[in-house]
Amino acid sequence: MSVPAVGGTDPEGSQGLTSSYTYEDIERIAQALLARTKHRPVLGIICGSGLGGLADIVEDSDTIPYSEIKDFPVSTVPGHMGYLVFGMLSGKSVVLMRGRFHYYEGYPMWKVAMPVRVMKQMGVKTLFVTNAAGGVNPNYKAGDMMIIKDHIDLPGLTGECVLIGKNDERFGPRFPATVDIYDSKLRALAAEIGKELGYGDYMREGTYIMIGGPTFETVAESRLLRLFGADAVGMSTVPEAVVAKHGGIRTFGISLITDMCSFEYEETQATTHEEVLAMGEMRAKDMQKLVSLMVERMEL
């Protein structure tokens, strides 16, 4: 079902404010969306490259293209279709982003993560974030699924934190702690279900590091990221997870390792976006089974 355009105000306005959306902007967008669907989501899911097929198993769905949501960014990356899907998944009301936004598309960090704040205002209590990532841990292989235990916010550490700017306490505290950003109970549930499904040979748990992109890593950069303690590298997820933590939303993250980073010049293989999408398609059914069972069994 396609839903007509929804409204909001221009967050930049006539005075040129570019730091973020106001609390009132977010509330207005959220209420306009809720007015166009019967669903009241308690779970939000953000789909990474090649993983949008999760939307296909959402039942009784309402679909709203990003282009029809006033003040909403539009995804420009192949593999990110660009719409919200409201519906039921494993008996729970969800809103799913089929396509996300990235810093490398030219969006500021606060705009990349804005949909998470909209989800919060719609009643979402739990967020699942998925992504396609490069393997940094040499013990990994393409096709592995990595439960995110922790992350390294490389853009944030170098001055591009998603929470930079004036803070509105209605969104969350000025200085949020992020030591427990990925929920331990949800991580344990994912590991348990993964074993039940026979995924034990390619289920991992590790640290995700975000880079700005859109370039894939050089050999020297891959070596540096491993020294930092990263197991997987990508160009998303961290801004959304930080904003979710800021707003009191518990978060579960999982990376699909679509390729392995090169650490030796003699063995270098160039990564392509097409290869990333192909690996996402190969593991899509496995990811769908895992997420569906998690949603079914998790406590709200």
Whole-angstrom distance, CA of residue 142 vs CA of residue 139: 10
What is the CA angle 290-181-140, rounded to 5? Answer: 50
CA dihedral of residues 226, 220, 161, 277 (deg, nearest 10): -80
Q: Is the pLDDT of residue 268 over 70?
A: no
Q: For 110-128, what is each residue's pLDDT tens digit? A: 999 999 999 999 999 999 9
Q: For 195-213, what is each residue's pLDDT tens digit? A: 999 999 999 999 999 999 9
Cβ neighbours of 268 (radius 10 Å)? 13
pLDDT at 48: 82
Cis peptide before 173 (omega within 30 of 0): no
Q: Is the pLDDT of residue 176 over 50?
A: yes
Mean pLDDT in residue range 28-32: 96
Across 18-32, 33-47, 233-247, least confident range: 18-32
- Within 148-232, residue ranges assigned H as helices are 154-155, 184-196, 219-228
Q: Is the pLDDT of residue 9 over 80?
A: no
DSSP code of 236?
A: S
pLDDT at 79: 59
Mean pLDDT in residue range 36-62: 90
pLDDT at 294: 96
pLDDT at 113: 95
pTM of the model: 0.90
Beta partners for 133?
Answer: 257
Q: In which band, very low, low, confident or very high, does the pLDDT at 8 lie, cut at 50, 70 and 90?
A: very low
pLDDT at 19: 55
Chain mean position to CA 195: 24
Angstrom CA distances, 206 to 5, 116, 182, stand at 40, 23, 11
Cβ neighbours of 140 (radius 10 Å)? 21
Q: In which band, very low, low, confident or very high, does the pLDDT at 50 lie, cut at 50, 70 and 90?
A: low
Question: What is the overall mean pLDDT for the chain?
Answer: 89
pLDDT at 4: 44
Mean pLDDT in residue range 165-184: 95
CATH 3.40.50.300 for domain 23-297, yes or no, is: no
H helix or E strand, kind and range, residue 93: strand 92-98
Evaluate whether 201 touches 210 at the Cβ level (below 8 Å). Answer: no
Q: Is the pLDDT of residue 84 over 90?
A: yes
Whole-angstrom distance, CA of residue 109 vs CA of residue 114: 9
H helix or E strand, kind and range, residue 28: helix 23-34
Across 75-89, 166-180, 189-203, 272-286, least confident range: 272-286
DSSP code of 182?
A: B
User: Does residue 273 come out as left (phi exceeding 0), alpha (psi in the -120 to 50 range) or beta?
Assistant: alpha
Cβ neighbours of 165 (radius 10 Å)? 13
112-130 burial code (b ≥16 CB/10 A, e <16): bbbbbbbbbbbbbebbbbb
